[in-house]
Amino acid sequence: MSHPVEIRFVPADESALSAALSGPGRVVLLIGDQGRPIGRLPRGLGRVARRALASSAWGKVKPGESIDLAFPMGMEADAVQLVHLPRSADVVTARKAGAAIGARMGKHRVTVLAGNHPQVAEVARGIALRGYDFTVHKSNPAEGPDADVADTGADQENGAERAPQTISRTGAVADAALGDAMQPGGDTVPEDTTAGPVEPPEPDRASVTLVVADADAARAQARDGLAAAAGVFLARDLVNEPANVLTTTDFAERLLELGELGMDVEVLDEDALSRLGMRALLAVGQGSETPSAVVVMRWQGGGDEPPLALVGKGVVFDTGGISIKPSAGMEEMTMDMGGAAVVAGVMRTLALRRARANVVGLVGLVENMPDGRAQRPGDIVRSMKGDTIEVINTDAEGRLVLADVLWYAQDRFEPAAVIDLATLTGAVIIALGHDHAGVFSNDDGLADQLLKAAAAEGEGAWRLPLAPAYDELIKSRLADVKNTGGRAAGSITAAQFLQRFIRKGTPWAHIDIAGVTLPPGATPLAPKGATGWGVMTLDRLIRDGFEQVGSDQDAPGQRPSGQRPSGRRAGQQSRGTRSSGQSRRGQDPSTRD
């Protein structure tokens, strides 16, 4: 997986200021109110900036945007970038300013003179997020003509020089930006000698140095935000991978390797799922050559409190099955595991920042393919809950996967709340476009917390209704429910279907991320491609609503520092957890038939 650019914080002494004027690379000045630089500048740099700040061009630069001065006279730097960021700027604007830096970073050494700006940690997060690029399948990641870069931090199509990323399988490599977030003894990974594709050689990396008034304070303030950026990178990587690489098996193996970060990871294979009675999930994948699975990731940082359960749809490729999709645009159905990617990214974030919360992430991994063994329209399957489902359309498969995983999450873990994420319906794109995810909930308090967290992180979300009237649209003549109610209110009937698999009294929210996972263009914090929408929102939700207040020492309930768990397949015992998918009541649900 890829990692954010290395970001260092150094004090604003004479040596750091002098270094900004020497050597190649890029120098960035944060410009506050009334065109005044934040902090003291070396004399030569002040002369370079003064004329630009007095120009009409600078007067048009909005907060969060920037202009470039190429090959400044008297300096070895390739460019000086002036970034407009008033001291009163909010978090979203500060991240946008950082993104403007990250978008222009390329492979350069970047020095940011940030002084005592109060939002320097958010600038660092913006740099990290926008510095992402997915080039692991390019023979020459640096190919492409050089081009001038836009001022806003949005993507530069076909020509922007982008920052290469370091790559690892587990995400547990030593990283200067995240080193203090790792467990002692857990920040290095032995060479992976297992069979598999050979990763490309690591290119020259960009590096970022922020020259600040108080380096220690800035580093501490940025730590958790950079951990969230690492989680976003994992989610983006997973969505961007093609389906011939990210099979269900490969996806499960990648998540098992997250155990290196200190969480318990367990894979339930098809035999375990069959014993549990997850026939709805298994029916979706029965036309594929790659086996279906459920991966359970547990972060136990909050003592004995019941966990928050995060559930993600992980359809690694969706042809639609027998109800096959049109060929135009089908290549983008590699993103139909976006919900599972977000859950994985959140779990990585929690582990890196050692969150004092109990969270369990569950993802259902399947591939929906047409085949002689594939499920058909008109089939009736029995869910783990026991409800029978008439399959009207095999392209409405994600809700079948989620139905079983949602029930299993409640049956095994008795969570304090459940949140599921899925690229579930095209209807939510018609309703909300690509700027907002659709939020559905049976609990006003949980919905309000989610919307507040999304707003704080600058990730668009909008609540849509649930009501008993919509149940009429998914009534089946032959079974307890049918899996689609037609075109009318398509995203709502999908959520209404999922609500059948939530126990009474359990706070639950469903987030339809079909429009925000892989939008058609760039976003302020991401180049064109996967966004990782939801990782920061859910991390904020956990921090504000589910995390215990305490020190930065080892989280309660975690193993001693440096002691690593090993990922395991169903049937292996670890720390007293159930094997072979045994239900909470000790009764095999498959006997219900």
Q: What is the CATH number of the domain that holds 105?
A: 3.40.220
The H-or-E segment that residue 267 falls in is strand 264-268
Task: State whether residue 411 is helix, strand or coil.
Answer: helix
Residue 533 contacts residue 342 (beta carbons within 8 Å): yes
Dist CA 359 CA 372 (whole Å):
39
Residue 197: the pLDDT is 40
Domain end point (choices 194, 229, 264): 229
Dist CA 19 CA 148 (whole Å):
26
Task: State whether residue 181 is helix, strand or coil.
Answer: helix
* Alpha-carbon distance values, 182 to 49, 188, 550 (Å): 40, 10, 18
Q: In terms of Cα–Cα distance, which of 470, 319, 343, 288 is closest to 397?
A: 319
In degrees, to the nearest 5, what angle opens at C-alpha 197 toward C-alphas 105 and 333?
A: 70
pTM: 0.85
Question: What mean pLDDT, rounded, does the chain reach?
Answer: 85
Handedness of CA 516, 100, 224, 236 (dihedral sign): positive
Asked if residue 118 and residue 148 are part of one domain, the reply reads yes
Residue 301: the pLDDT is 95
Q: In terms of Cα–Cα distance, which of 101, 78, 102, 104 is closest to 161?
A: 104
Asked if residue 441 and residue 583 are part of one domain, the reply reads yes
Neighbouring C-beta atoms of residue 302, cutoff 10 Å: 24
Q: Can you list the pairs that 249-256 forms with residues at least 24 positions away whose Cβ atoms lie under 8 Å?
A: 249/290, 249/291, 249/293, 251/295, 251/314, 251/316, 251/337, 251/340, 251/363, 251/365, 252/293, 252/295, 252/365, 254/1, 254/169, 254/344, 255/295, 255/297, 255/344, 255/363, 255/567, 256/295, 256/567, 256/568
Dist CA 311 CA 405 (whole Å):
7
Asked if residue 222 and residue 265 are part of one domain, the reply reads no
* Alpha-carbon distance values, 372 to 124, 201, 321, 357, 403 (Å): 52, 42, 11, 46, 24
In degrees rounded to 5, what are phi and psi of residue 399?
-70, -25
Does 234 reside within a domain? Answer: no
Does 240 reside within a domain? Answer: no
Domain end point (choices 229, 264, 298): 229
Helix 120-130 crosses helix 91-104 at what angle (to 10 degrees)?
Answer: 50
Asked if residue 291 and residue 202 are part of one domain, the reply reads no
Burial of 467 (0-12, 13-18, 19+ CB in 10 A): exposed
Asked if residue 224 and residue 261 are part of one domain, the reply reads no
* Alpha-carbon distance values, 165 to 144, 155, 168, 453 (Å): 17, 17, 10, 28
Does 110 reside within a domain? Answer: yes
Asked if residue 339 and residue 221 are part of one domain, the reply reads no
User: Which alpha helices (DSSP H) does 434-512 contain, by range?
Assistant: 444-457, 490-499
- Quick one: CA torsion of 285, 406, 579, 283, rounded to 10 degrees? -20
Number of domains in the chain: 2
Asked if residue 131 and residue 250 are part of one domain, the reply reads no
The H-or-E segment that residue 535 falls in is helix 535-545
Residue 60: the pLDDT is 93
Asked if residue 540 and residue 449 are part of one domain, the reply reads yes
Does 366 reside within a domain? Answer: yes
pLDDT in tens, 355-411: 999 999 999 999 999 999 999 999 999 999 999 999 999 999 999 999 999 999 999
128 contacts: CB under 8 Å, gap ≥ 6: 4, 5, 7, 98, 102, 177, 225, 226, 229
Active site residues: 325, 399
pLDDT in tens, 188-244: 333 333 333 434 334 467 899 999 999 999 999 999 999 999 999 999 999 999 999
Does 295 reside within a domain? Answer: yes
Does 237 reside within a domain? Answer: no
116 contacts: CB under 8 Å, gap ≥ 6: 38, 39, 212, 213, 214
Dist CA 593 CA 590 (whole Å):
7
In degrees, to the nearest 5, what angle opens at C-alpha 340 toward C-alphas 153 and 401?
A: 140
Burial of 325 (0-12, 13-18, 19+ CB in 10 A): middle
Does 239 reside within a domain? Answer: no
* E strand residue ranges, 331-416: 358-368, 380-382, 388-390
Give the CATH number, domain containing residue 517.
3.40.630.10
Give the neighbor-by-neighbor strand order of the sheet with 66-70.
Answer: 6-11, 207-212, 109-115, 26-31, 79-84, 66-70
pLDDT < 70 positions in the chain: 20, 141-204, 550-593
Residue 482: the pLDDT is 98
311 contacts: CB under 8 Å, gap ≥ 6: 339, 343, 361, 362, 363, 364, 402, 405, 406, 409, 418, 419, 420, 421
* E strand residue ranges, 291-410: 293-300, 308-318, 358-368, 380-382, 388-390
> 295 is in which domain, residue-wise?
246-592
Residue keyed to tokens 């931090």: 153
Does 235 reside within a domain? Answer: no
Asked if residue 444 and residue 419 are part of one domain, the reply reads yes
> Mind giving me the DSSP string for 316-329?
EEE--TTSPPPSTT
Asked if residue 200 and residue 261 are part of one domain, the reply reads no
Q: Which two tokens mark 464?
A: 């849509």
Residue 259: the pLDDT is 96
Asked if residue 53 and residue 191 are part of one domain, the reply reads yes
Q: Which two tokens mark 141?
A: 């990641």
In degrees, to the nearest 5, what angle opens at C-alpha 109 toward C-alphas 106 and 112?
A: 100
Asked if residue 287 and residue 199 are part of one domain, the reply reads no
